[in-house]
Amino acid sequence: MSQNRRRFLGSAAIAAGLLGLAGCSTSGQPSGQSSGAPSSGAKTAITYDTVGNDSLIAAERKIVSAYEQANPDVTVNVQAGNFSDYDTKMTTAFRSG
């Protein structure tokens, strides 16, 4: 499998995951039921690490923007990186917690 195809498939899987999270939004909750979200009104921040060419990263940022619009209580920090450094970066992040 070519490296470009792997990148595309990996990015597509991540994008599908983000869209899946959008499906878990709490809109439409019957009144009186808790959504499980913090009541302090604080926003949740998540970090999304990605690699790819400029057009792929631009497309991912559009998906993230749509997710943030659908979920105003969530902020997604997109961190675009180098493909050659990605494994080291992810390994370090997982080990540090």
Domain map (residue ranges) of the chain: 3-24+42-96
Which one is predicted more confidently, 37 or 54?
A: 54
- What global pTM score does this model have? 0.52
Instruction: Identify the pLDDT of residue 83.
Output: 80
At residue 14 the predicted structure's pLDDT band, cuts being 50, 70 and 90, is confident
Report, as an integer, the average pLDDT of 46-63: 91
pLDDT band at 38; cut points 50, 70, 90 = low
The string of DSSP codes covering 28-63 is: TPPTT---SS-TT-PPEEEEEEEE--HHHHHHHHHH
